[in-house]
Amino acid sequence: MKKIKILKFCMLIASISFAQDKIWTLEQCVDHALENNITILQAENSLLSSKQDIISAKGNFLPSINSNLSGGASLGNIEVFPGEFRDREFYSTSVGIGFSQSVFNGFRNINLLNQSKLNLERNQFELEKFKDDISLNVANTYLNVLFNKENLELAKLQVEFSEFQVNQVKTLVEAGSEPNSTLIETKATYSRDIQNLTIAENNHDLALLTLAQLLQLPYENFDVEVIEIDTPSANLMYNDIAPILNYALQNRNEIKVAERDIDLAKLGTKISKSAYLPNVSMGYGFNASANFSNLTEDDELLDQLNVNKGHSINMNISIPIFNRNQTKAQVKKSKILEETTNLALEQAKINLESTIQRAFTDARAALKSYEAAQLSLQSQEVAFQNSQERFIIGALNSFDLEQSRLRLINARSSLINAKYDFIFKTKVLDFYLGKR
């Protein structure tokens, strides 16, 4: 046992080390989350419990069999003749077996079996819903890491450019083409870019930390594979929301869960109504007994059991007449639950439709923002190149050059934001259309 514990500990350490050193792909992240997420594990346990409920419901159709074996002893003095007492030992033994079978109970057993099967199906849909939600959450968090990686790379490029600018301006100052104040301003810009790089590094680290925590993995040395994301285009955008809505309303697991809840409520009403109907059951029993005393000559055990035996057959019919309105109240509660589940389905459809419409509107807006960001970046790149040329020939001062550079930086940052925003928004629409 000790060796097994040591082996398990070593395997755990090895798995942690592997998790720390490997570069995680998006697929690996999703698979790991689906295998280890606590919510999913709980839902899987609920599924296992539902399967046991089916076994239990099937057992209601089988007879109940019981056996009994009893024995007793009585020790003490007894008066056999007036004034004459003797030690008396008396022993008794009884054995029996019997079974009972429900013949009719208002279709309760059938409805309980159907209910347990339906509940299993409902829990399966709920499990799939959890998996879908977690997969989308992991994908979103993964994209956020990539987004911050791009911003980090942009910040590094700005630091490199600022360093180049410092060296260039230093050369111009030494040549007497620029005043020393220009060098001071350029160095200040360089310092600000280093600060922005620190912020970008922190944002990147926080994004990685969030993903690692979501996956329940150690953060140390955790990193993800960089996916080369092609320049998105309008082709990713859906032209019509109707196919997405139709598919989602027919196939989304939250809708299926709500529909199964309605069916379960209807079965609950049938089960409650079964209490109005009679119950019929049958039973059979066999019993044998033997007695022994030291004061009498008793037959042998087997002989007594053979003589003192009996069979019994019984049928029981129970007809409900009045049970203090308990059944009536339970049926009423079941019908109220039916109405509640119907309302829950309607609300689920409303919520789903609202979510998809909002996602569709957001995706269209994200596309427009992305296209605008592309045009803005193109303009700012041309403008900054022109500013550089003018600065070199002395037609532009350092302040105006810096303002042009800031506009270029903002344009690049805006494009990265718009790109990932548009990609994720379209992925959400893919998600509701059943694409993975």
pLDDT tens by residue, 51-78: 999 999 999 999 999 999 998 887 777 7
In-domain check, residue 213: yes
Q: Is the pLDDT of residue 82 over 70?
A: yes
Give the whole-angstrom CA distance, residue 436 versus residue 430.
Answer: 7
Answer whether residue 337 is part of any domain. yes
pLDDT of residue 15: 44
pLDDT for 35 equals 95
pLDDT over 70 at 9, yes or no: no
pLDDT tens, residue by residue, 271-282 = 999 999 999 999
What is the C-alpha to C-alpha distance for residues 53 and 48, in angstroms, rounded to an integer?
Answer: 9
| Residue 1 in this model has a pLDDT that exceeds 50 | no
Taken in order 350, 355, 356, 362, the sign of the CA dihedral is: positive
> Domain for residue 261, yes or no?
yes
In a domain, 51, yes or no: no
CATH of the domain at 252: 1.20.1600.10
Confidence class for position 83, pLDDT limits 50, 70, 90? low
CA contacts within 13 A on the Cβ side of 280: 5
pLDDT, average across residues 422-436: 89
pLDDT of residue 294: 62
pTM over 0.75: yes
Residue 89 has pLDDT above 90, yes or no: no
CB 107 within 8 A of CB 270: yes
| Poorest-pLDDT segment among 174-183, 292-301, 365-374 | 292-301
Q: Is the pLDDT of residue 29 over 50?
A: yes
pLDDT mean over 167-188: 85
Determine, yes or no, domain membership for 300: no
Q: What is the pLDDT of residue 435?
A: 83
Give residue-wise pLDDT tens across range 104-160: 999 999 999 999 999 999 999 999 999 999 999 999 999 999 999 999 999 999 999
The answer to whether residue 125 is domain-embedded is yes
Q: What integer pLDDT is reported at residue 19 of this predicted model?
A: 46
Residue 172 has pLDDT above 60, yes or no: yes
Q: Which domain holds residue 141?
A: 106-277+323-432
Looking at residue 433, the DSSP 8-state letter turns out to be: T
Using alpha carbons, list the distances in angstroms from residue 174 to 160, 165, 300. 21, 14, 128
Domain total in the chain? 1
289 and 304 in contact (C-beta within 8 Å)?
yes
> DSSP for 22-91?
SEEPHHHHHHHHHHH-HHHHHHHHHHHHHHHHHHHHHHTTSPEEEEEEEEEEEEEEEEEETTEEEEEEEE
Q: How far is CA 29 from the centre of its chain?
A: 15
pLDDT 10s digits, 280-307? 999 999 999 888 776 565 557 677 777 8
Residue 249, in any domain of the structure: yes
Nearest to 289 by CA among 128, 72, 102: 72
Q: Has residue 251 got a pLDDT over 90?
A: yes
Which residue in the block uniquely carries the two structure tokens 């829950």?
344
The pLDDT of residue 343 is above 90: yes
Contact between residue 311 and residue 285 where contact means Cβ atoms under 8 Å apart: yes
Quick check: is 144 in a domain?
yes
